[in-house]
């Protein structure tokens, strides 16, 4: 019978995880000159990462991640069973993009703004994905930019695909007007209290 990892091994794993999370927090703080694009002062926690990828079915096909940051959601997607070659992570910050390439060598890392690389003429303009996960702070962006980002993402998603987006606010990360104009609906997919700050995940999809 397999007794599992020893106490010493569990301690070593815990220390490595703590060190990685601490280093990520320091990197995140070091990029706060671009706080409007980041939306928080610390990376998303593991509880939020598990919740936001919970609706992803790896068997459906390729997955898109936008606003990958330090890779918290990237790691959760891989742990969920998404194969590295079936995952594309988009990150605008060059420091974080470089970090992602080092941490996830099998994942396609695309440096650039989501609305540019996914939009017409962008490097991913001909791709299609089953579903998408977003780490972008949509509420921090002007409404016109939010709309451009959503249009670009849903242009690349399958008809029955969904975008999983989190928000720290009490309401959906998109107003009713924006959702209606784009033919989208946003459904709560879980509240995560064990995150700093607490967050809610939404499943955004096309109206049927």
In tens, the pLDDT along 77-127 reads 999 999 999 999 999 999 999 999 999 999 999 999 999 999 999 999 999
Model pTM score: 0.81
pLDDT, tens digit, for every residue of 150-178?
999 999 999 999 999 999 988 898 989 99
Q: How many domains does the chain have?
A: 1
Which residues are CB-contacts of 144 (< 8 A; sequence separation ≥ 6)? none
Has residue 27 been placed in a domain?
A: no
**b/e sequence 53-80, b meaning 16+ C-beta within 10 Å:** beebebebebbbbbbbbbbbbbbbbbeb
Has residue 67 been placed in a domain?
A: yes
Has residue 105 been placed in a domain?
A: yes
Sign of CA dihedral 106, 67, 65, 144: negative
Q: What is the CATH number of the domain that holds 112?
A: 3.40.50.150
Domain housing 104: 44-206
Q: If you search the block for the tokens 């995952």, which residue do you land on?
A: 87
């Amino acid at each position: 019978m397999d007794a599992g990892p020893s106490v010493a091994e569990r301690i070593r794993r815990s220390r490595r995880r703590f060190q990685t999370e601490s280093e990520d927090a320091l990197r995140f703080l070091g990029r706060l000159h671009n706080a409007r694009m980041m939306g928080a002062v610390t990376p998303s926690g593991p509880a939020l990462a598990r919740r936001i990828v919970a609706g992803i079915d790896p068997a459906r096909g390729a997955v898109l991640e936008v606003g990958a940051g330090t890779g918290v959601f990237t790691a959760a997607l891989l742990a969920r069973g998404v194969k590295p070659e079936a995952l594309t992570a988009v990150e605008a910050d060059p420091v974080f993009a470089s970090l992602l390439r080092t941490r996830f060598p099998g994942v396609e890392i695309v440096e650039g703004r989501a609305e540019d690389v996914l939009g017409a003429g962008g490097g991913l303009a001909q791709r299609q994905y089953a579903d998408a996960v977003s780490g972008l702070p949509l509420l921090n962006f002007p409404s016109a930019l939010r709309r451009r980002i959503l249009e670009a993402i849903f242009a690349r998603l399958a008809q029955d695909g969904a975008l999983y987006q989190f928000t720290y606010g009490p309401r959906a990360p998109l107003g009713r007007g924006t959702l209606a104009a784009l033919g989208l609906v946003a459904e709560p997919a879980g509240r995560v209290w064990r995150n700093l700050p607490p967050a809610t995940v939404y499943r955004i999809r096309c109206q049927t």
